[in-house]
Structure formats: structure tokens, C-alpha cells
């Protein structure tokens, strides 16, 4: 029988420290391949592989396209590329971003679950928002093992907490104790049941579970598109370097009233829980990340409006001075009113910006 032999690890904010602690505790004879995604800025290079190589007993390398997944080695996603698992090897893709990230944790988790089923062990470490939750749902649905860093042990508890809200995790523990756990879990024989069978019995809300009180009209397609099928389709989207066509995304859900923060295209609400969206060229968003991105866009728009109002007030002031020099009293009063109105509106916007209305702590979503 197949055994657990692939460990996929995802982290974001606070992830470097968590990953160093994690790899330091791994056994030197670990009989499994490890694949790591840390959300990174798109530009430049990453020193993460070197950091992890020095931190633990296993060699850590930057993943390259086509590289075989070797047991006893840590494969690290490079910046600006999704790390996907395809036929036991690494595939690097410049596919659509997810929650603004490339590489993305969910893209790795979905591809691993689709390719290796119950052989996968998924691990979510420190990070903000809810990245990794959708991927862990897929791993759980395929019979894989789910491991989550104790939120109290994480610098940013958002990602671990989100997973625990939606998945009954097999293990919740500090990063330093995961190595000992994996030593016992790796190599255990598993029933690698086909994805179609598992998704049919999948209890995750929104996948047509018999006990779910939702009509086809209310949730179109949810009875016919299971977790495993959706994961395969989304993996294909993540692997598409040039983006995808709308007819590859539209069948995955229903039209929403929202637009994509990346490209302003229309978003499709996916047939999945928790609520997620994809635009018609493939950019993916969870509801929390979309809300966060809309807040950033709103703040940017308000700063633009503030700058415009201040320029308007300054221009009206100059025109008032010119009119006063010409003795045009009617124009003086007109430009004076315009200046006062623009200055007042600018003050209102400035107060909102300074009050922090459009910002929040990165791990605010951890509050219950």
C-alpha cells in the first residue's frame, strides 16, 4: 500500500521564524519529500533555501521546474512562481496569483492533494488572513493528514486559526514539536481512495453533502462539483502561465457582483466553502483577502481624492488672488467659496485617514 511520503508546508507573515523552527526539528533520516511555500514579494531573489539549509539537518534547495521530489530534501518555492506537484515532480508556474500571492500556499496544497491523495501531510504555519485554508480542506477531503501550528505559538495566528475554523485538524502543536510527530507519521500506510469517491462523501459545506439544506437553485453546481474535481481544475488554472479563458472559470461557480483587485475583471463565486472567488483570467481571492484588498483600494482612492481636493483648494486660492488684484469682487467671492468647500472636504477625508478607518492589524481576523 502507498505510504505518507510528501509533506507540504505553507507560511506567510512570521513564517521565516516558524519555518526555521520547523526544519530544525525534522529528523535527519526523514523518509518523505518536503515542499515549502512562503509568501514572498514578486521581485528579487530569496535567501530562504539557504536559511533553512543551515537551520536543520535536511538539505534545502530552491525548487526548479521538472525537479524530482526527493525524500529527505526540502524543496523551496522561488519568488514569483507557484510551486505545484505534478507526477511526483516540481512544476513551477507563472500562473494567476492567489490573494495577490505567487507562490501561493493553496496552489501547492491543492496540487499535492490532487497528485498524491492520502499520501500528503499538510502543514500550516504562521501567517495573516486565511491563506492555506482552502488547500487544507482539499488535503483533508483526499484523506491526507492535517497539521496546524498552535495559534498561541505563531507570530501571526490568522492562517492557523482560519484552518481550525474550517477543518478538524489531525494535530495542533507548536512548530518545534512537529518533527517528532512527523517521524511517527511518515511511512504509515494509507488507503489512497480515488478522489471521486472521497469528494462524494465529503462533509465540507458546499459540496453536495446529503445533510446539507441547500437547493440547486441557491447553490448552482454544488451537487456536481466536488472538492477533488474543483481542486484539479484550479490546479490546472494555477499551472497556466498565460492565464486562462473565461470558459475555464465560469463553470466553477456563479457570477458575483464583485471585481478583481488585480485586473478589475468580473469575479466568479466558486462552488466552495469557505467563500472564494476567481476572475475570468484566473486570479483567485478568498472572501477575507478580497475584503482586505478592497480596503487597500478604498484607502488609495481616498488619498487620491484628498490630493485632488487640496490641489483644487490651492488653485481656487490663486485664482482668488488674481481676481482680487483685478478688482473683480464677484469672482473673489466665488473662488473663496470654492476654496472653503474643497478645504473642508479635504479636512474630513484627512480625519478619516488619520483615524485608521481603512487599516487594521494584520492578524485582526484571529479575534473570535
Q: Which entry of 5, 106, 130, 131 is annotated as an active-site residue?
A: 131
Q: What values do phi and psi take at 312, rounded to 5?
A: -65, -40
Q: Is 39 a catalytic residue?
A: yes
Q: Which entry of 5, 12, 93, 101 is annotated as an active-site residue?
A: 12
Question: Measuring CA to CA, which residue among 116, 106, 107 is closest to residue 166?
Answer: 106
3-class secondary structure per residue, 165-203: HHCCCCEEECHHHHHHHHHHHCCCECCCCCHHHHHHCCC
Strand ranges (DSSP E) for 232-295?
253-259, 266-270, 276-279, 284-286
Which residue's C-alpha cell is 448552482?
220
Question: Measuring CA to CA, which residue among 18, 28, 17, 13 is closest to residue 60?
Answer: 28
Q: Which entry of 39, 75, 82, 283 is annotated as an active-site residue?
A: 39
What torsion do the CA atoms of 354, 100, 205, 245 make, to the nearest 10 degrees?
130
Specify whether the CB–CB gap between 298 and 358 falls below 8 A: yes
**Contacts of 110 by beta carbon, 8 Å cutoff, 6+ apart:** 134, 135, 138, 231, 234, 235, 238
Beta bridge partners of 75: 35, 61
Please state at what angle helix 227-238 crosses helix 105-116, rounded to 10 degrees: 120
Which residue's C-alpha cell is 511526483?
88
Q: What values do phi and psi take at 259, rounded to 5?
A: -115, 155
Q: Is 130 a catalytic residue?
A: no
Burial of 217 (0-12, 13-18, 19+ CB in 10 A): exposed
Structure-block grid coordinates of residue 326? 483685478
Burial of 63 (0-12, 13-18, 19+ CB in 10 A): buried
Q: Is 87 a catalytic residue?
A: no
Specify whether the CB–CB gap between 271 and 127 falls below 8 A: no
In angstroms, the CA 109 to CA 118 distance is 12
Structure-block grid coordinates of residue 195? 478522489
Residue numbers annotated as active site: 12, 39, 131
Amino acid at each position: 500500500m502507498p505510504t505518507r511520503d510528501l509533506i507540504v508546508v505553507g507560511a506567510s507573515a512570521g513564517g521565516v521564524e516558524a519555518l526555521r523552527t520547523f526544519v530544525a526539528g525534522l529528523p535527519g533520516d526523514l523518509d518523505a519529500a518536503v515542499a515549502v511555500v512562503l509568501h514572498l514579494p514578486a521581485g528579487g531573489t530569496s535567501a530562504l533555501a539557504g536559511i533553512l539549509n543551515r537551520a536543520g539537518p535536511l538539505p534545502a534547495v530552491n525548487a526548479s521546474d521538472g525537479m524530482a521530489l526527493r525524500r529527505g530534501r526540502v524543496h523551496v518555492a522561488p519568488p514569483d512562481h507557484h510551486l505545484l506537484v505534478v507526477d511526483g515532480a516540481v512544476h513551477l508556474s507563472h500562473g494567476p496569483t492567489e490573494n495577490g500571492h505567487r507562490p501561493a500556499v493553496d496552489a501547492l496544497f491543492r496540487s499535492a492533494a490532487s497528485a498524491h491523495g492520502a499520501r500528503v501531510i499538510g502543514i500550516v504555519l504562521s501567517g495573516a488572513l486565511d491563506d492555506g485554508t482552502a488547500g487544507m480542506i482539499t488535503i483533508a477531503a483526499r484523506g491526507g493528514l492535517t497539521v496546524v501550528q498552535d495559534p498561541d505559538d505563531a507570530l501571526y495566528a490568522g492562517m492557523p486559526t482560519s484552518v481550525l475554523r474550517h477543518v478538524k485538524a489531525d494535530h495542533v502543536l507548536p512548530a518545534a514539536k512537529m518533527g517528532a510527530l512527523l517521524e511517527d507519521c511518515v511511512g504509515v500506510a494509507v488507503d489512497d481512495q480515488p478522489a471521486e469517491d472521497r469528494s462524494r462523501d465529503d462533509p465540507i459545506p458546499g459540496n453536495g453533502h446529503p445533510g446539507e439544506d441547500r437547493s440547486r437553485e441557491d447553490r448552482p453546481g454544488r451537487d456536481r462539483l466536488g472538492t477533488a474535481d474543483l481542486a484539479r481544475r484550479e490546479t490546472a488554472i494555477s499551472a497556466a502561465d498565460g492565464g486562462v479563458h473565461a470558459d475555464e472559470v465560469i463553470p466553477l461557480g456563479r457570477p458575483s457582483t464583485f471585481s478583481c483587485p488585480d485586473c478589475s475583471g468580473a469575479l466568479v463565486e466558486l462552488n466552495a466553502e469557505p467563500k472564494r472567488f476567481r476572475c475570468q483570467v484566473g486570479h483567485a481571492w478568498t472572501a477575507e483577502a478580497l475584503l482586505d484588498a478592497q480596503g487597500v483600494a478604498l484607502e488609495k482612492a481616498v488619498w487620491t481624492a484628498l490630493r485632488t481636493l487640496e490641489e483644487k483648494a490651492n488653485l481656487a486660492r490663486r485664482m482668488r488672488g488674481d481676481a482680487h488684484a483685478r478688482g473683480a469682487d464677484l469672482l473673489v467671492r466665488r473662488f473663496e467659496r470654492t476654496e472653503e468647500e474643497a478645504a473642508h472636504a479635504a479636512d474630513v477625508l484627512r480625519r478619516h485617514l488619520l483615524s485608521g478607518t481603512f487599516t487594521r492589524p494584520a492578524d485582526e481576523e484571529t479575534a473570535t
